Amino acid sequence: MEYAVQVENLVKRYGSFNAVDDISFDVQQGEIFGILGPNGAGKTTTLEITEGLLKPTGGSVTVLGMDLARNAKQVKSRIGVQLQSAAYFDYLSLREILGLLGTFYPRATPAKDLLQQVDLVDQAGMRLRQLSGGQKQRFTVAASLVNQPDLVILDEPTTGLDPQARRSLWSLIRQIHEQNITIVLTTHYMEEAQTLCQRLAIMDQGRLVAVDTPANLVGRLDVGYNVKVVLSRPLSAEQAAAFNGKVKLAEAHSESLNGTTYLFRLENTSTMLAGVLEQLEQTGSALEHLDITPVTLEDVFLTLTGNELREEH
Amino acid sequence: MIALFWANLKMMVRNRQATFWALFFPLIFVVVFGLFDFDGLGSSRVAIVAEADSPVVSQVIGGLAAIHALDVREEVGPAFPLNVANGRLQVEQGDLDYLLVLPPDPGPSDGEQSTRTPATLVYASGDRGRNQLVIGAVRDILAQAGSGAPAGSSAMDSQASPGTGDGLLHSEAVEVSQVSYFDQVLMGLVAMGIMTNAIISISVRISNYRNLSILKRLLVTPLPIWKYFVGEVGAHLMVALVQAAIIMSVGVLVFGAKIHGNLAWILVIVVLGSLVFLNIGFIVSGWTNNPAAASGMGNAIALPMMFFAGTFFPTAALPWVLPYVAEALPLTPMLVALRDVANAGEPLWNTWPQLAILGGWVLATGAVATKVFRFN
């Protein structure tokens, strides 16, 4: 079995609204696969279909070699799921919740081992509401591992966490990955997708925009780096327009950000930057600040969808 | 499934506030009703039965009717043997307190007292103080009626000459299980507590679980979801049984209520009734979007039902078509069955019409619950 998940021509329609609009992708065994997109892109809908929670309007999903439509129960016993913002029973301790969940599966890891893995042994007797946000997320990841799954599906595992808790969760996800468990996760954090995921699907408005490794996605753009300059006075419209003719600027061209701050996206060639700087000097406006950064997924996303990727609603 | 049952039970016990109030609510009523002495109010019911009218009969009726604390009914006529049998039955069933049977021929009014056939007073054992007063008064009136002295003015205070009527009255106590108003209300409170707790607890819990995506989380496991519902219902039935036991214990031990029926049968009715109200709880959770709304709708269903089904007052006292409405409520057959078994001491199978209606309610509400239940 080569693929952990195969999605073919998947469609989910609510009335006339296409939540998922004819998407196809494969997740390979043993990889960390990310689905990146803004809120409402169809990420969660895609996951919930894969988990057997929602029935697709069209298309098919194969999980761990089993057709989901026919083998939902077998699929469910071999996947681990962390739902977006799912809570667990109040009035049960962490240990009891994991123990109870374990009884639902043919095989189960003891609660103690799971809590050890997510570093919550000391909190075993506590209730979920007594935990911090990061601890809660680690617990829900532990809950997704209770049945020793071959595939773990995490829906926005780090949303709402502070940077430190986020990093701790990343290392937990990598640990799980080292146990040869395939991981599919959704995120709207670029940094997370870039550092954590081996391959990425970018979704926007129910459609699949691209599927590739983060490096390949970035390499697809004919852009090597971003150049941000702050000038002593604004460029005239004429001067700004002149850059379009002379310098090959990517997609967004030069755009005024803050009066005297300009952003250029440049091809990765040795002469490109020199040309821009020379031209700026000729405008008679002094260069007050220069910032050169490599192109990131954010730029890829902007290029592919034309939309800003916002972190919150 | 067993694990789910225990987990649910554990959660309900740990949710101390909800459990406490679920128990406390009906207990408040137990205390309130236990403190009132309803049976001390009102008058004692007396039936005077005679075959034919005579001066003595008239004098006795007149004499007893003049006593304020007695509610006198007279049945004089050829249906005498039937009236005696009916009256006796009514005393046995607690519908009548005293039956005075006057002999067909009270004898010559001016003759020796000993030649007269004695009258018979059949009375329900139980209230000894009241019985002594009434027996004394009847004896006195009989003596006066026989002696030609003016009757009617004597009333109960004429016991100054207690010996005079000795040969004229034969008194006969009937052992009846006294069913007080409080005994009946106690069963109403058992049913009420179970109904409100079942409807509100289930609807609020399910609504809460749905909002927190806990139901969704269960759906992504291979657990057949019916097992979850069985665990949930099983835990609630357990709580209902404990609740019924506590309410009955407080009623009996603290306020001296009497339960005449078989406890096991009472619990069977409790379980059957609980199933109906748990189903209604599931329906409420399907019709509402959040726990607060579920609680509101649950109360809106439970509270009117509590009054209309006759928890505190007989449904016959309701005006217009409301007695028929009361008959159509699921709490009514549960109350009737509980009272028949617990108060009247009838065996469970005598309540089969009520049990059949409850069974129908279980199926009907179950069907609706399955239809309106939502996981999201």
Task: Report whether pLDDT(B48) > 80.
Answer: yes
Choose the weakest-confidence range: A179-188, A249-258, B174-183. A249-258
Q: How far is B328 from chain A (nearest CA, A)?
A: 37
A-chain CB neighbours of B4 within 8 Å are: 100, 103
pLDDT of residue A122: 92
Q: How far is B227 from chain A (nearest CA, A)?
A: 10
| ipTM exceeding the 0.85 mark | no
Coil/strand/helix, residue A206: coil
Beta-strand pair A182-187/A32-36: parallel
Beta-strand pair A58-63/A66-67: antiparallel
Residue B154 or residue B258, greater confidence? B258
The end-to-end CA distance of chain A, in Å, is: 39
Q: What is the mean pLDDT of residues B71-89?
A: 79
* Rounded Cα distance, A249 and A278, in Å: 15
pLDDT of residue A228: 78
pLDDT of residue A307: 58
pLDDT of residue B346: 79
* Rounded Cα distance, A293 and A72, in Å: 47
All residues at 6 or more sequence positions from B171 whose CB lies less than 8 Å from its CB, including other chains: B120, B121, B123, B135
Token pair for B93 = 């069933």
Using an 8 Å Cβ cutoff, are A37 and A204 in contact? yes
Query: Dihedral (C-alpha) A273, A277, A279, A283: value to the nearest 10 degrees?
Result: 150
In the block, which residue shows the tokens 């103080």? B129
From the candidates B11, B217, B375, which should be mutated to test the interface with A, based on the most A CB atoms within 10 A?
Answer: B217
DSSP conformational letter for B115: G
Q: How far is B214 from chain A (nearest CA, A)?
A: 6
Interface of A with B in 132-161 (CB under 8 A): 147
For residue range A66-75, what is the model confidence (pLDDT) as tens digits?
Answer: 998 888 899 9
Alpha helix (H) ranges present in chain B? 2-14, 16-35, 55-65, 80-93, 128-147, 181-211, 214-219, 225-249, 263-287, 291-308, 322-327, 331-342, 352-372
From the candidates A44, A51, A100, A141, which should be mutated to test the interface with B, based on the most B CB atoms within 10 A?
Answer: A100
Token pair for A249 = 């600027």
Using an 8 Å Cβ cutoff, are A276 and A266 in contact? yes
- Residue B42 confidence class, pLDDT cut points 50, 70, 90: low
Q: What is the mean pLDDT of residues A97-102?
A: 92
What residues are paired with B189 via a beta bridge? none
Mean pLDDT, all residues of chain B = 79
A-chain CB neighbours of B10 within 8 Å are: 91-92, 96
- Comparing CA positions, the residue from B353, B209, B187 lying closest to residue B270 is B187
From the candidates B9, B220, B230, which should be mutated to test the interface with A, based on the most A CB atoms within 10 A?
Answer: B220
Using an 8 Å Cβ cutoff, are A110 and A65 in contact? no
For residue range A197-244, what is the model confidence (pLDDT) as tens digits?
Answer: 999 999 988 999 889 998 888 877 766 777 877 777 777 777 777 776
Q: What is the mean pLDDT of residues A101-109?
A: 91
- Residue B147 confidence class, pLDDT cut points 50, 70, 90: low
pLDDT of residue A270: 67
pLDDT of residue A272: 75
Mean pLDDT, all residues of chain A = 84
Beta strands in A47-181 (DSSP E): 58-63, 66-67, 79-82, 151-155
Task: Report whether pLDDT(A5) > 80.
Answer: yes
pLDDT of residue A1: 56
- Report percent pLDDT > 70 for chain A: 90
Task: Report whether pLDDT(A174) > 50.
Answer: yes
Q: What is the mean pLDDT of residues A95-100?
A: 92
* Rounded Cα distance, A137 and A193, in Å: 18
The Cβ-side half-sphere exposure at A144, using a 13 Å CA radius, reads 31
* Rounded Cα distance, A126 and A85, in Å: 19
Beta strands in chain A (DSSP E): 3-14, 17-28, 32-36, 58-63, 66-67, 79-82, 151-155, 182-187, 199-204, 207-212, 225-231, 255-256, 261-266, 287-294
Q: Do A83 and B217 touch (CB under 8 A)?
A: yes
- Residue A259 confidence class, pLDDT cut points 50, 70, 90: low
- Comparing CA positions, the residue from B323, B305, B324 lying closest to residue B314 is B323
Choose the weakest-confidence range: A6-15, A162-171, A269-278. A269-278
For residue range B332-372, what is the model confidence (pLDDT) as tens digits?
Answer: 889 888 888 877 777 878 888 888 988 999 999 989 988 88
pLDDT of residue B176: 63
For residue range B294-343, what is the model confidence (pLDDT) as tens digits?
Answer: 888 988 888 888 888 777 776 666 677 777 777 788 888 898 888 888 77
- Residue B29 confidence class, pLDDT cut points 50, 70, 90: confident
For residue range B247-287, what is the model confidence (pLDDT) as tens digits?
Answer: 888 888 887 777 777 888 888 899 999 999 999 999 999 89
Task: Report whether pLDDT(A26) > 80.
Answer: yes
Task: Report whether pLDDT(B24) > 80.
Answer: no
Residue A60 or residue A309, greater confidence? A60
